Amino acid sequence: MSPIGLIATWLRALLTGWFRAWHIPAVFVDILAWIVGGVVILLMITLIALILIYVLRKVAAYIQGRIGPERVGPYGLFQTVMDALKLLQKEDIVPAGADKILHTLGPVVFFFVCTMGYLVIPWESQATIARQVDLNIGVLFLLAFSSLGVIGVLMGGWGSNNKWSLLGALRGAAQMISYEIPMLLALVCVVLMAGSLSLEVITEQQKALGLLSWNLWKPWLWLPMILFLITAAAEINVTPFDIPEAESELVAGYHTEYSGMKFALYFLAEFSNNFLVGLIFAVLFLGGWSSPFGHPDPLYLPEFLWLVGKAMVVVLFLMWVRWTLPRLRVDQLMALCWKLLLPAAFVSLVIVSIVGLYL
């Protein structure tokens, strides 16, 4: 059991004891645990997003021969923090003629949805952040919530009453819904091999020989892996799939009209989504929390650090791609999905089924 797990168990035991002493029904322990878990996740997401934004800026700067943030704090570490504070102070502008309710709800829904994904991530061998979520359907849960993100985008785009926002939202909707399908199929391949929808089980299966038992090394899973990477990049709108917020065409796409706190929400959600993809990729193909040096970990590092580290590698790769490639056009994006990725996903499903049958 890891430090997080220990602390969580200890807190739970403490609370149960107190509540019993105060004659409060045990249900409230669960409720409190949910609240605390939620707050922890929110803080963590914010923190991760802040760090990621900083890393993104630095990576972009180095790739582009620049320096990047370097003024606020050592090496500009607090630059994103200051930016976040600045955003919080900013006036919240709702354009005249906008649908106020939708305009407000858009970022909230989007942020909510992307936080939900974090619930099923197996951070440690035993503890997930919220044990209450049924782990058996982990993959399904992720997919369900990632497809809900569309609603947040659409709400924001529609509610802004701006041509670019609307175009961006519609593009986003089309893109997310289309790419859902090959992504699902790619995930199904992994699930087929693992025989379980639970992310925890998938991780467990990759831990035995450390690095060598990762799904990454299984040739029949390479195609699903590439497919997942592409479709996930499309789901989270990073270049070359950033057409919903294509800056050169749609100004800022669906969040053109957002400012201040609401913009910060979209922004945070985007980056936490980015990280979530890294996490899922790490769980599915890079052995999750398991150490690359075999099990048990010879380095005795906390397990969640391995997971976060692996996810960071994936995120860095996505950033690298992001600063290299141009953007696809809408029709090309759709053609890529329906004409290339979807057949490829079916092919890979067939391959994996056959391999699974005879292995």
Which residues are at the interface with another protein (CB under 8 A)? 59-67, 70, 96-97, 161, 163, 167, 171, 239-240, 242-243, 246-251, 320-321, 323-332, 335-336, 339-340
Task: Name which of 150 and 243 has its Cβ closer to another protein.
Answer: 243
Task: Name which of 193 and 337 has its Cβ closer to another protein.
Answer: 337
Closest approach of another protein to the CB of residue 227, in Å? 12
List the structure tokens of 155: 């709400």
Closest approach of another protein to the CB of residue 67, in Å? 5
Contact 233, 278 (CB under 8 A): no
Closest approach of another protein to the CB of residue 97, in Å? 4
- The DSSP string of 37-101 is HHHHHHHHHHHHHHHHHHHHHHHHHHHTT-----SSSGGGTTHHHHHHHHHHHS-----TTS-HH
Task: Name which of 110 and 164 has its Cβ closer to another protein.
Answer: 164
Closest approach of another protein to the CB of residue 310, in Å? 20
Task: Name which of 204 and 242 has its Cβ closer to another protein.
Answer: 242
Alpha carbons 95 and 103: distance in angstroms, whole number: 9
- The DSSP string of 303-359 is HHHHHHHHHHHHHHHHHHHHTT--PPPHHHHHHIIIIIIHHHHHHHHHHHHHHHHH-
Task: Name which of 30 and 249 has its Cβ closer to another protein.
Answer: 249
Closest approach of another protein to the CB of residue 68, in Å? 9
List the structure tokens of 43: 């803080």
Closest approach of another protein to the CB of residue 323, in Å? 5
Closest approach of another protein to the CB of residue 318, in Å? 12
- The DSSP string of 212-280 is GGSGGG-GGGHHHHHHHHHHHHHHTT-TTS-GGG-HHHHTTGGGTT--HHHHHHHHHHHHHHHHHHHHH
Task: Name which of 70 and 134 has its Cβ closer to another protein.
Answer: 70
Residue 323 has φ and ψ, to the nearest 5°, of -90, 5
The candidate with the shortest Cα–Cα distance to 142, out of 238, 31, 286, 273, is 273
What is the DSSP secondary structure assignment for residue 288, as one 8-state letter?
A: T
Contact 273, 122 (CB under 8 A): no
Task: Name which of 141 and 258 has its Cβ closer to another protein.
Answer: 258
- What's the residue count for the chain? 359
